[in-house]
Amino acid sequence: MWIVILPILASALRLATPLIFSALGGTFSERSGVVNIALEGIMVMGAFFSILFADFTGSPWIGVMAAILAGMLTALLLGVVSIHLQGNQVVMGTAINILAVGLTSYLLQIIYKRFGQTDAITNALTNNPTILAFLEKLPVVGKAFFSGLTPFVYLAFFAVGLSYYVLFRTPFGLRVRAVGEHPKAADTVGVNVYKIRYICVLISGALAGIAGASLTVGYTAIFREHMVSGKGFIALAAMVFGKWHPVGALLACLFFGLAEALSIQGSMLGIKIPTEFMHMLPYVATILALIGVVGKAVAPAADGEPYEKGEN
């Protein structure tokens, strides 16, 4: 019994990991009032640059650092346009998504001299981290569950805890939420709205960059065009479904991950769930959350609204 369930849970966690990082990124950005449609594009950048740097330096962790940097730089673009220039955040986010696909495809051809995909790296972070090797020795759960987890799975949970603490237990987090709800009021009491929003958009980029890295360096060991295949949008859906809360986002991502893991393993267990249904699930869940069927999801009040300093 457990021997069947545990691998499914491990699979669900692996599938949820990139979503968790990305959804946390979305939460930070939107809590501060910047809609981040660009998660998908930032993930593409993170996925590509992590493999690129891991391949050339031989160190997967340098790859992860590169993904964070690439993610932050991409997010900065969104920040400049939506914060300083008060441009339309959704339009800019969409532009970044298109840019990321084009840019990575272009760099792929320049650097690897071929279309479509990079070389595979040989030292991907796909095994249970060495410091936690003792977990694999546990009876039953060791081999069936812990041996299937990657370092990113643990990091994702750590990131959720940290995000919750920062957003809800620190003065900085209070400012972030204030800026996202009522930037003018925050400004009046001396909070630098632009600074807070920039910081949040950069955190968002870093997290979505890690999300991309967790897909490649942390799982497939190779980058291929179109491999992110909508995971950024599913993360966005998870963020809404999770009501712009780190723990909510975590639960939503685990739910989506479990649904996909079940659809993969289900047919072998004799349960046939149509894969089309599983593909609809994140979006159906989001719609249900938005129309209030599972408790109303309300966005931060100033989400998507550019803020102009000194406006009356």
Partner 1 sequence: MLKKALTVLLALVLVFALIGCGGGETPATEGEEGQAEGEALPGEGKVVTMITDTGGLGDKSFNDLAYAGLEKASEELGFELKILQSATEDDYAPNIQTALEDNPALIVCVGFMMEQATVDAAAENPDINFAIVDGVGDMDGDGQQDVDNLLGLKFKENEGSFLVGVAAGLTTETDKIGYIGGMEFPTIIVFESGFIAGVKSVNPDAEVYVEYADSFGDIAKGKEIATAQYNKGADVIYHAAGGVGLGLFQAATENDFWAIGVDADQALTSPENADNILCSMLKRVDTATYTAARSAVEGTFEGQVQTFGLAEDGIGVGDGGENLTEELNGEIEKWKAAIIEGQFTVPATREEVEAFEVPEI
Among candidate residues 13, 81, 78, the one with its CA nearest the CA of residue 41: 78
> Between residues 136 and 225, which has the closer beta carbon with respect to partner 1?
225
Query: For residue 72, what are its two tokens?
Result: 């932050």
Question: Interface with partner 1 includes 222 (CB under 8 A)?
Answer: yes
Note the helical H segments in 32-59: 39-57
The residue from 202, 203, 215, 235 that contacts partner 1 (CB under 8 A) is 215
Q: Is 33 left (phi over 0), alpha (psi -120 to 50) or beta?
A: left
**Quick check: 51 and 223 in contact, CB under 8 A?**
yes
Residue nearer to partner 1 on the CB measure, 226 or 296? 226
Query: By three-state DSSP, how is residue 117 classified?
Result: strand
Residue 219 in contact with partner 1, rule: CB under 8 A: yes
Q: Report the C-alpha gap between 191 and 183 in whole angstroms.
A: 9
CB of 267 to partner 1, least distance (A): 6
Q: Is 31 in the site for partner 1 (CB under 8 A)?
A: no
Q: Please tell me the distance from the alpha carbon of residue 92 to that of residue 164, in angstroms, as a whole number.
A: 27
Q: How far apart are CA 244 and CA 296, in angstroms?
A: 12
Q: Is 224 helix (H, G, I), strand (E, B) or coil?
A: strand
Binding mask 240-279 for partner 1 (x = CB under 8 A): --------------------xx--xx-xx------xx--x
Token look-up 């000194």 returns 310
- Give yes or no for residue 80 binding partner 1 (CB under 8 A): yes
Is 15 one of the binding residues for partner 1 (CB under 8 A)?
yes
Per rule CB under 8 A, is residue 238 in the interface with partner 1?
Answer: no
46 makes contact with partner 1 (CB under 8 A): no
Positions touching partner 1 (CB under 8 A) are 7, 11, 14-15, 18, 77, 80-81, 84-85, 95, 98-99, 101-103, 105-106, 108-109, 114-117, 119-120, 122, 126-127, 148, 215, 219-222, 224-227, 229, 260-261, 264-265, 267-268, 275-276, 279
